[in-house]
Structure 1
C-alpha cells in the first residue's frame, strides 16, 4: 500500500489539530448564532481528514463546531433524552434503525443533496433505511484482528488467536462494545444477529474464560495500544489498523476465516437540529466526489461514493484490508436492529462479560 502524502496528523494525534479544537468551542449564543451561520457535527474520533472542515468553512462561510463520541451507545444516550443542539451525526447502520424507531432522526430532503447521485446504487436501498429517508452512507468497513507481525509470526487466521490460544496472554485487547460479542458468535459458528439466548450465553462463557488472557477491553483505541507496543493483537476496525500501519510496517490486519462484522456509518440529521439547512450543506459537501476521495485516502476506510472511487489510487482500491475480496465479503454480516428486547439481550451479554 502506498504511503499517504505528508501525513502530518496521525489518527489519534488529530485531536491536537484544528478539527478537534473546534470540539471544545462552546455553542454559540443565540444572538451570535443569528449573525453567523453554523453547523454542529457529532462524529467518531478523527474520522475525517484535517483539511475538510476548514475547506467547508471557507467555501460556505458556515462555522463548524465538531464534537466527538466514542461509541454508538454514547451517541444514542446523549440524544435519547433530547437533542442538546447537534445537527449532523454519524451512527452505524443498526443504530440508525434503532434511532429511526425511537424518532430520533429528522427526514432528509434529497432535493438539497445535489451530490447524492454519487453514492453507489447498492448502498442506496439499505435494509436499515429503505429509500434513504433518514441517512446517507459515509464509510463502511470490517472488524478483524490487528497484529504485530514480528511477535505473532503467522497470520492469525482464526478468532481463536484472541479467544482460546494462550500464546499471547496479557498482550490482547478486545473492544468494550457489542463488536466483541459479534466476534465471539462468529468464532462459534453462529450468526452475529442470533436471537437464541443459549448461543449468546455460549459467547459470554467463551469471553469470560478468555478474560485472564485479555489485557484490556478498549474503548476503540486498540490500534494505539498496538502501535505503542502495549499489546500484540487487538480486535479493531480495519481503517484504524490501516492508519497505524502507515507509521509502523510491522503491523498488519486480517479478517479471520470465520468471518466478522460488516458495518456502515451514516450521516444523519438529528431530530430537533437547530441548523437543518446548514446540515444539508455539510452532508452535500461530504458527498462531493473530490471531497469524499480525499477523506477516503486519508482515513483508509472504503467509500460508498462511486464517483470518488474513480479518483482513488490503485494501491488503495486493490488493498484487501480496505476493500475485501468477494470470498471474505461472503463471510461478513451486517448487524441488524431487531427491536429493544433483542438489543437488551446483547447489552446484557456485554455487561456480563465486562463485569465478570
Structure 2
C-alpha cells in the first residue's frame, strides 16, 4: 500500500554481514554488527522464490543475504497498486510464491480462497511481532491465519511549520482558504474520501450513500484550495517549500522530515487510517518452503531492524524496535503513541459498495 520515496537512507554493512553470516555462536557482541538476532541459520533450500511487492519496500542487500544463506534465487517483482496485485494473484498462471498486500485486499483474497494458511511452526520468529499489532491485523485476518504484518503506519498531514502557524489538530485545515493553492491531497479514492469522512464524523468504511455524497461535495468544494491530487510528486514539492501541507503516509512523511527540519506530521483528532501491509503465500505458490523461510528471515530482530532503517516505515517487530535508536523510537511519526492509534481504523473490503466510492471519486476528479 505504501510506496517509498527514499532520499538515500541506510548505511550498508556488507563487511559485517560477510564476517558474521557463517557464525553459529548467536548475536555478535556489537549489536550493530549482528546478522541474525538469535544466531539463526538457514538450510540450503535451493530453487527460486518469486516475490511480488511494492517498489523500494525492502533493503536489497537483505535479499542478497537470504540468497547466500539458503541457495534460493529470489525474483523480486514490483507492483504499483493493490488492485494490480489482486489481478495477478487471481490469474490462472500466477507465478508468485509470496506477496505483500494491504488489509482490505487480504480480506478479498481470503474470501476468494486464494491464500495458503501459514505454518507457524516454520516461522519461529513470529514471537517477535508485537501482540497489539496482531490484535489489529486480526480484524481483517481472524487469528492471523493467512498473513503476518510486514510494515504499518498511519495517514496524516505533513506540513511546513514556517508556512502553517497554528497547530494542526483537525482535517478541517485542508479546507482553510488562507492556504489556497498550497494543499496537496492524496490521489487515492479510499484515502481522500476516508479522511473527509472522518472530518465529517463518519466511519471511513461507511456503506451509507448519503455520507459518501457529503464527502464528495466537500472534496468538490475544496478544488480552488488544492494544489492538486498527487502521490510521489507531492514529497519533493513539500520538502522544497513549494507547498504548505500534504496528506501523506507516515513513512513518506518521516523521510521528508529527515530532509527538511521545518516539516512536522500530525494525525488529526477526528481520527484516520492505520494501515498494514502483510505478507501472504498464495495457494498457487511453488516454493512454499522458501516462502516460509523468507518470512521467518524478515522477522528476525536484526534483519527487521536493518529493513526498517532502510525504508523508514514502521516495523511491527519488537525485537527490531529494541535495536533501533532514539531517532526512530522517539519519533511519534514513526512510533505513534497509543492515543493516536486508538482513534485510527483499518480499511476493510467494501464489497460491491466500492462502486459508490468510485462513482463519487470520478465526480470529484472531473470537477
Q: In the alignment, is residue 347 of structure 1 matched against residue 342 of structure 2?
A: no
Equivalence map 1:1-356=2 (5 Å) = 11=6, 37-82=47-92, 84-125=94-135, 126-162=138-174, 164-177=175-188, 178-219=190-231, 221-338=233-350, 340-356=351-367
Report Cα offsets for 1:178-202 as digits up to 9, x if no partner: 1111110011111112111101110
Mean Cα deviation higher: 195-204 or 167-176: 167-176
Paired with 2:284 and 2:265, the residues of 1 have a C-alpha distance of 40
With structure 1 as the length reference, what TM-score do the two structures score? 0.84
Q: Cα 1:270–1:255, aligned 2, differ >3 Å: closer, same or farther?
A: same
SS at structure 1 position matched to 2:108: helix
SS at structure 1 position matched to 2:107: helix
Is the Cα contact below 8 Å between 2:46 and 2:70 reproduced in 1? no
Is the Cα contact below 8 Å between 1:149 and 1:155 reproduced in 2? no
Paired with 1:301 and 1:248, the residues of 2 have a C-alpha distance of 18
Is the Cα contact below 8 Å between 1:136 and 1:268 reproduced in 2? yes
1:81 is displaced (CA, Å) by: 3.5
Query: What is the alpha-carbon root mean square deviation over aligned residues?
Result: 2.4
Look at both structures and tell me which one has the larger radius of gyration over its CA atoms.
Answer: 2
SS at structure 2 position matched to 1:256: coil
SS at structure 2 position matched to 1:39: strand
Which residue of structure 2 aligns with residue 5 of structure 1? Answer: none
Paired with 1:76 and 1:211, the residues of 2 have a C-alpha distance of 32
Paired with 1:154 and 1:264, the residues of 2 have a C-alpha distance of 31
Report Cα offsets for 1:277-307 as digits up to 9, x if no partner: 2221211110111111222233333222122
Paired with 2:291 and 2:187, the residues of 1 have a C-alpha distance of 31
Q: Cα 1:229–1:44, aligned 2, differ >3 Å: closer, same or farther?
A: farther
With structure 2 as the length reference, what TM-score do the two structures score? 0.82
Give the unaligned 5+ runs of structure 1. Answer: 1-8, 18-34
Give the unaligned 5+ runs of structure 2. Answer: 13-44
Is the Cα contact below 8 Å between 2:49 and 2:291 reproduced in 1? yes
1:204 is displaced (CA, Å) by: 0.9
